[in-house]
Each structure stands twice: as C-alpha cells, then as structure tokens.
Structure 1
C-alpha cells in the first residue's frame, strides 16, 4: 500500500507499508523478552561467574574456567578482575567489583544490569524462565506467520544477485561510509539487513533456546542427546552466554543503524507500519524526519 502527499513548494512524500501488524507486535514482544532475559540471565550468572568447556559438574572449580569475573582484596578496598584465558584485566567499578550504596561490592555484573538488583538466584531464575517461554511462544507465532504470509520469502530471503561478493562488498563499503539506502532501495531491507535478520532469527536465537534447554536436568532426561550435541552442560552454558553476547552485539549495531539512518522514520514504521519516502525531482529519497 502506498500513500502520496504533494504540495506546491515541497517534494512529494510517499508512504509505503513496510511492516505488517504481526511483525510489529512480535518485534516489540521480542524487545520486552530479550531485555528481561538478559537482565535475569546476568543475575543467574552472578551466582557462579565462571565459564567452562566440557563435562564439568556443578562442583566445577574456578581454576578450570577459561572465563572468570572475580573480586580480590586490594588493601582496604577491592578490585574487580575479568579473566579470559591467560589474559586478566582490571575491571573495577564495572565487572567483578561495582558500587552499590556508595561502596564497592563483589559482584560479577553490577546491580543496575540485573533483575532483581540484589543477589537472588531463585528470583532471577523465575524471571528468566517466565520470559524464556514467552519468548519461545512469540517466536513460534512469528515463524508460523512468516511461513503462511510468505514474509520470509518476500522480505528476508536475499536474491542470488544480492549475495555476490561485488554486491555485498559495495553495501559494506556504503555502510562504513554511513551512506544508507535511499529512494526505491529504502522500500525494502538491503542484503546486509536480510542476512543479519536471518542469522539472528534462524541461528542465534534457536541456538540460545537449545543451549538453555540443555542446562535443564528435566529436559536432559527427555532429550539426552542435547548433552552430547553441545558437549555437556557446562559447554552449553558457555555457548548460551556467547550467543547472548552476540545477540546483544547485534542489538547495539541495529540501534546504531536506526539512529544514523533516520530514527523517527524507522521508529514510526515499526509502530504504525508506514515508512516515508520523499520524491525529489523524480528521485525518491528516504525521509528522516
């Protein structure tokens, strides 16, 4: 659907219907779910701030970890230290030891990043499990809609010419220069967006769900092959954390692109469904207002 508005002294504006109601609802529910999953997940991580590879049990020793976020006494105070393999970094104030009530407190992730803000593993797990199932149901709804409406094929599946090295190299160079699609090209997702959304939606998020289920003894009893697939519960926990970090990285880049390419137009399109283009001398350009 397209709406055109013209005036004698302004370029014509074209409103294109870019996001369906189902896409918008599932998008914002994902935002809600992922926010609570991240914050409650960090609460759970704080209870044992170490990551391991292999078949370690619940009594895994910190010395066997390849990632650790710890606090050490430093005279009358303390310092936070984050270790990745043999590399150790002082991260006082952010990781390992952060301020709570004006005092440094031993805590892997700071209180303002966790739900609840105080250390409570049981409550954190309840928040995490609730929004995990909410997230799975929302994802299944989006999957069914995408297949029935052909949203995946129409909007997300790249054409063969979009996957050529020359085309992808050109889009990467344009994005690096902060030159975003305009005019007709702004009507639909570009190749990098399509690949990113497909990668997150069909690789990262399913992997996050499967590694999360692998950490559940109940699901291990029903689906013991999950432990073999991911190399043990501790390896699954590590992969779960890595996938969560990659998802956060995607969200940060996604938000940066939204801000740089026209925040109000992008935000409006994800609320109302309509994205505005300008007709300027017969050439269409994206409206960033």
Structure 2
C-alpha cells in the first residue's frame, strides 16, 4: 500500500514538470498567480465604472498641458445638443468628426426619459451622478491594484513565474506565425506552458498597461505632482496623461473581452479550474506546420 502511494506521488510529480505536454493534470497556476488574478479582476471592474463616473464631470480628452475654449487640442468630446424640435441628441466628436451617439453617449434613457449624460446609468458607479463617491471608490481600488501588482511582481520574481512562464524567448518569436495561424483556425494547444500570443498579451497587460495606468493616474494627482513634478513632463502634461489613462483603459477592456472569448473557446471548465485550483488538464496536439 505504501508502494502504491509512492507511485501515485511520483506520477503527480512528473505531471507538474514545466515541460509536460502529454495528457493529464498539471499544476499550472501558483497560489500567488490565482489570488492576484481575481484581485485584478475585481479592482479593474470597479475602477472602470467609477472612472467613467469621474470622467462624466468633464467628458472630454485633450493633448497637452492645458484645455479650454482658447485651445484647439481636443481629441474626444461627448456632449448633448438640443434639436430644433426641442428634443435632445447625444453627439461624440472624435478627432473633429461628429457622430450621433444618442442612447449610448451624451444622451441616454433613464426613468425620467432622455437625459443629458455621458454614459448610461449601468456603466457607472454610483449609477447616479455623484463625483465624490466615484472618486472614493476609484482611489480605493486604484491602491488595491497597486498593492496587488507589487505582490504579484515580488512573488513572480521569487518563484520564477515571470522568467519561466511569461517572458517570451527566441523560440516563442519563431513560433509566433504558427501560433497566429492556430488561433485563426480556433485550434488551441492545451499544455502547461503559455503559447506565444498568451505570453505577449500578458506581458503587455502586466508590465506595460497596468504600470502605465498607475503612472498616468498618479500624474493627475496634485499631491503627487508636488512630490514628483517630473512625472507630468514625462507624459507631456496633465491633459495628455488623462488621455493616455483613458486609452489604456480601453486597451484593458479590449483585452478582457478577448480573454473571456478565448477562455470560452478553449474550454471554460478547464481554464476556470486552472485559475481557481491551479490544476490544468493538458492534451496532446497534432503538429501544425
């Protein structure tokens, strides 16, 4: 009986080796990775909706140090206009091109009827206009995001997750065309290692987009400006930093949509088990030259 137990333990040990590609359960996600993943998901959800609440106070984006009527540096503007018949229309100006966005941006349906409002009530926290509460929620989850990213970075450096699993090497870049073809054909590899597109997307989010969000957010803080005024110069002014902050948010939303789609297409049960318990079922894949 003791011999059988040792044999089972040996099989489990072999199943968790980094280069395992045959069928079977492998321990793919460490505890630190799983915990920080869900903390990021919660933080980004509240940051997005509270951020849109804050953005409604001035739903315009500019490039440069300053903004106002005397400057011609707007890249995005969401507004409500009154039509000749007295009705309201939502309009969005993007790089000088005007679009009717009634019902989505500028003018939305509420219990009171068509209402001048940059975003629908379901897209903001709180759902009603409350800049103060939106800022409180936003800053709380912003610091939670900062702490979670710091925790993940320390843990990933200590356990080798960053070097071993995320940073792409030469072999990954050589495999990139093949990986793109497989994704276009909806043929997904089920192995312990991340594929090249996963590595590139995770690096873009964890080492570029999230730090950029944090840095641009800090650059809009008057208190942090007093501590590190040079950060505003790095981003070319508060208005440019605000625009970059908004664009980084759009990138993260796009990543989330694609990420969820890939989870569904690749097998949601297996993917969710991996990020909840750490265990992932691999499957041999046919070669795709």
Determine whether 1:270 maps to 2:280: no
Alignment match, 1:128: 138
1:50-61 pair list within 5 angstroms: 50-56=60-66
Provide structure 1 residue ranges, at least 5 long, that are not aligned to the other structure: 5-11, 279-283
Residue correspondences, number = 269
The TM-score with structure 1 as length reference comes to 0.88
Instruction: Give the Å deviation of 1:64.
Output: 4.4
Q: Contact (CA 8 Å) 1:67, 1:84: kept in 2 or not?
A: yes
Alignment match, 1:146: 156
Alignment match, 1:254: 259
Instruction: Give the Å deviation of 1:61.
Output: 6.5
Alignment match, 1:175: 183
1:244-289 Cα distance to aligned partner (Å, 9 max, x none): 11111111111110111111110111111111235xxxxx369xxx
Alignment match, 1:8: none
Alignment match, 1:24: 34
Provide structure 2 residue ranges, at least 5 long, that are not aligned to the other structure: 1-8, 15-21
Q: Contact (CA 8 Å) 2:64, 2:73: kept in 1 or not?
A: no
1:207-263 Cα distance to aligned partner (Å, 9 max, x none): 100000000011111100011101111111011001111111111111110111111
Instruction: Give the Å deviation of 1:76.
Output: 3.6
> C-alpha separation between the residues in 1 aligned to 2:130 and 2:69?
21
Task: Specify which of 206, 216, 221 is matched with residue 226 of structure 2.
Answer: 221
Instruction: Give the Å deviation of 1:26.
Output: 0.4
> C-alpha separation between the residues in 2 aligned to 1:258 and 1:215?
35
Alignment match, 2:74: 65
Q: Contact (CA 8 Å) 1:277, 1:285: kept in 2 or not?
A: no
More strand by share: 1
Q: CA RMSD in A?
A: 2.1
SS of corresponding position for 1:187 = coil
Could you say if the C-alpha distance between residues 103 and 63 of structure 1 is closer, same or farther in structure 2, counting changes exceeding 3 Å? farther
1:178-215 Cα distance to aligned partner (Å, 9 max, x none): 11114xxx221001100110111111110100000000
Instruction: Give the Å deviation of 1:102.
Output: 5.5
